[in-house]
Amino acid sequence: MRRSTVSRPFAEVYDRRANSFGALRLAFALAVVLSHSAALGFGRPLMPRVDLGAVAVAGFFTISGFLIVRSARRSSVPRFLWHRALRIWPGLWVCLLFTAVVVAPVLFFERHGTVAGLWRSPNGAFDYLRQNWWGGLRQFGIADLLQGDTPYWRWQGGNTLNGSLWTLAYEIFCYLLVAVLSVFTILRRQLRWIPLLALLAMFGALCWNQFRHGNAEQGIWLTGEIGPLPMLGTLRKDSLLWYGFMFLAGGTAELYSDRLLINDLFGVLAVLVSAWLAAHGSFFGPALLAYAYVTLWLAVRLPKALHRVGNNNDYSYGLYIYSFVVQQVMAKTGVQALGLVGFFVASTLVSVGLAMLSWHLVERPALRLKDWAPRRLREQSDEMTTPKGGRAPATGSADSVTASSSQNYA
């Protein structure tokens, strides 16, 4: 009981090598798969009042904001951008190639009896790769694949092979924004009030939109798009407000980790508030702030056994980017006959298998390049750090860089 009433700063209770961020990311990825199981397998939402997938992605952005800002404060801007590129792009590129080179030809041949016209036709496989290569999901489908063949098509009419990828553009946008803040030294302690002020302004906009307009697509920053932006394409303002707020909440929590109090009573209260608002279809302003606190509170309060999840092998990203296309193919072949639970289990098992391959063959080898630098820069660094008549100090190995779930991500 005493522990539940004691408040301690987040900086004191957070251990970068012993936390539950890895377990939370995996749980969020599974929640997305579950939500998509209903949408892709049966053409209906999982829950009528709240989109579980959107809520899970919001949790991803909270964790990402915390870890990415922490990474940016401890790296030069070029090194920070290099780390971000290694974490996002190699896995994405192989996933796109898998979709275009393996999945699309099979589906195209099944439909047309040939693969002629798959590659060079408008909206073909080559265009799919070219349009989506840098993270912006400009082309959702390939040719006429899945048209009329899936429950999702009959529900939404979308010829979408991998809809999960659309959030990556918002993630990359947040990375670039953090890099800009780093360039102007706004992430330093003396200027951390600027992100806090931005967070309060966004929170005010969210609350105004909710209480004045409800969840309708009207109000402050809820209609229209920005862009097209280089690489990323166009970004919806409502999604940028929603996920940008969660990212900024996590980032601001890192900047104020010495003042952000962790209290178990606050945590339970935040769970109740966010759950109650979600149940009433109001997962917007206050609920998002409470949910961000819940995510950070769980990261340091979940059982220690969960600290091992994702500690050395982080499958959450691979599970997220592969599960949608797996479920679309399964829905086309009738696996939904197993029922919602059976469809979820079957698609999760296949997606986890692909995620494991992605991590061990693509993502982790890419992360071993985190400490890479051009030869000239390495030589300059050695000259500056090597004492006269002595040896350069030993540096950590690539494996040590990925020793914890937080480091795997950041």
This prediction's pTM? 0.90
pLDDT of 276 above 60: yes
pLDDT of residue 310: 86
**Cα dist. 195→29, 85, 192, 200, 206 in Å?**
28, 24, 6, 9, 16
Q: Percent of the chain at pLDDT above 70?
A: 89
Q: What is the mean pLDDT of the chain?
A: 88
pLDDT of residue 30: 97
Residues 217-227 pLDDT 10s: 677 888 899 98
Calculate mean pLDDT across residues 65-74: 95
Whole-angstrom Cα distance, residue 242 to residue 220? 12
Q: How confident is the model at residue 213 (pLDDT cuts 50, 70, 90)?
A: low
Q: What is the DSSP letter of 7?
A: -
Provide, for the chain, the percentages of residues in helix, strand and coil under a 3-state DSSP scheme, each rounded to the nearest 5: 65, 5, 30
pLDDT of 399 above 60: no
Q: Cβ distance 95 to 322 under 8 Å?
A: yes
pLDDT of residue 373: 75
Q: How confident is the model at residue 403 (pLDDT cuts 50, 70, 90)?
A: very low
- Higher per-residue pLDDT: 214 or 241: 241
pLDDT of residue 396: 38
Calculate mean pLDDT across residues 272-276: 93
Calculate mean pLDDT across residues 141-163: 89
Looking at 5-19, 76-90, 343-357, 380-394, which range is the least confident one? 380-394
Residues 374-389 pLDDT 10s: 666 555 444 544 554 4
CA angle 172–173–175, rounded 5-degree value:
60
Q: Give the three-class secondary structure for 226.
A: strand
pLDDT of residue 156: 87
Looking at 99-108, 281-290, 356-365, 374-383, which range is the least confident one? 374-383
Cis before 228 (ω within 30): yes
pLDDT of 131 above 80: yes
Q: Which of 68-72, 217-221, 283-287 is modeled with the greatest confidence?
A: 68-72
pLDDT of residue 40: 95
The two beta strands, 233-236 and 225-229, are: antiparallel
Calculate mean pLDDT across residues 102-111: 94
pLDDT of 106 above 70: yes
Calculate mean pLDDT across residues 345-370: 97
Q: Percent of the chain at pLDDT above 90?
A: 72
Cβ within 8 Å of residue 313, ≥6 positions away: 356, 359, 360, 364
pLDDT of residue 375: 64
pLDDT of residue 127: 95
